[in-house]
Amino acid sequence: MFISDELAQDYLARAVLLTFPWVGIAMGTWGFFWEVLLLLAVFMVGRLRGVFKSALFLVGGYSLALVVLGADALNYLSYVPLAGLLGVYGWQKDWPARVIFFWGAVLAGVLGTIPILAFVAQGIDANTMNTMIDATVQQYHASGLLEMMQQQGVDESQIRDLLHQLIQIYALVIPGIAAIISIIAFGFVFYIMRRWFKRSEWVPFTHWRLPWYAVWGAVLGIAGYLLGDYFSWPVIYGLGINLMVVYGPITLVLGVSAYLYLLKSPKIPRLLKWTLIIVNFIYFMFSIVSITMFGLFDLVMNFRRLPEES
């Protein structure tokens, strides 16, 4: 007796949801790859059997991890696959692709930061920071980089001060980095699933958009950064910084999409197009910042004049 490909996919996806949470933790390899696999399984079961069945098996997999490995499993579990349930629900309600991605990305970003909030709240203690700085300075010395810096007038104390500042900045933006990684995982799976199941008409890269109200996240980030810095509110300041860290790559992608759309326009002379491209490569960093801002303002201005349903 043979089973259909759809039924085989359903059984395989259910098995992944039930077993992979505790298997990933037991093997000590839980990370981005496991999140992607679980998100694929969530979308697969949700597409074939509905969001309730998908949620039931995913929660069952998390519960099984707690039974097998105990309460310590909570320290290693990632909750990003839960964002896939929102994506499935959006499919069932026929939400536009940009709306599904935006709210799914928001949920994935929030869920991705949960496991590290305790670490961020605790911060990096002085002993750990000194150990990290000493190890880095030793690497610079072994590679000869320290001597090169000293020849240029940079002494070891300045290097240590710089490393101290960089570590503090890194500790501050860890939630934003975790959110970006989670959003990438969700976006990658969402892209694959839309191609796999051929949901609605395909949207080319030059037509990628987010809902106009997505700009409020960037506004809140800028406001939080300015207010937190002015009134010395560390929580608001950190929230603002991390929102801007998250919105940076997102608006860069949107900016590239809008920029390529305009470059493809027949109304722009070919000579001007090549001139812009050459200038972009010469002033690369300035171009990155400009395109990022272009993508941010495109959320509201809609420079491409695309219809809302596109």
DSSP string, 51-117: HHHHHHHHHHHHHHHHHHH-GGGGGT---GGGHHHHHHHHHHTT--HHHHHHHHHHHHHHHHHGGGH
Check whether residue 147 and residue 280 sit in a common domain: no
Is 275 exposed, middle or buried (CB count within 10 Å of its CB: 0-12, 13-18, 19+)? exposed
CA distance 245 to 229: 16
Same domain, yes or no, for 85 and 35? yes
If DSSP codes are grouped into helix, strand and coil, which group holds residue 240? helix
Segment 120-145, tens digit of pLDDT: 777 777 788 888 888 888 888 888 88
52 and 139 part of one domain: yes
Query: Can you give the residue range of the structural domain that contains 261?
Result: 209-310
Same domain, 184 and 111: yes
Q: Are 77 and 3 part of one and the same domain?
A: yes
pLDDT tens digits for range 227-251: 999 998 999 999 999 999 999 999 9
Q: Is there a single domain that holds both residue 253 and residue 289? A: yes
- pLDDT of 22 higher than 60: yes
Are 159 and 192 in the same domain? yes
Verify that 275 and 149 share a domain, yes or no: no
Q: What would the DSSP string read from start to end of 89-106?
A: HHHHTT--HHHHHHHHHH
Contacts of 124 (CB under 8 A, 6+ apart): 132, 167, 168, 171
Domain count within the chain: 2
Statement to judge: residues 122 and 29 lie in one domain: yes
pLDDT tens for each residue of 181-232? 999 999 999 998 888 876 556 778 888 999 999 999 999 999 999 999 999 8
Tell me the three state secondary structure of residue 268.
coil
Measure CA 225 to chain center: 20
Positive or negative CA dihedral for 34, 37, 40, 44? negative
Confidence of residue 86 (pLDDT cuts 50, 70, 90): very high
User: Which of these, 30, 53, 23, 29, lies nearest to 41 by C-alpha position?
Assistant: 53
| Same structural domain, 50 and 163 | yes
Helix (H, G, I), strand (E, B) or coil at 254: helix
Rounded to 5 degrees, φ, ψ at 156 are -65, -35
Q: Span 64-77, mean pLDDT?
A: 83
- Is the predicted pLDDT of residue 2 greater than 50, yes or no? no
Same domain, 99 and 64: yes
Looking at 184, 202, 220, which one is the last position of a domain?
202
Indicate the residue among 202, 235, 268 that finishes a domain. Answer: 202
pTM metric for this prediction: 0.89
Q: Which residues contact residue 104 at a Cβ distance below 8 angstroms, ignoring those fewer than 6 apart? A: 83, 84, 86, 87, 90, 186, 190
Same domain for 117 and 100 = yes
Q: Pick from 167, 202, 237: which residue ends a domain? A: 202
Quick: pLDDT tens for 270-292. 899 999 999 999 999 999 999 99
Helices (H), ranges, the chain:
5-27, 32-49, 51-69, 83-92, 97-113, 117-122, 126-143, 145-151, 156-197, 215-231, 234-263, 270-282, 284-301
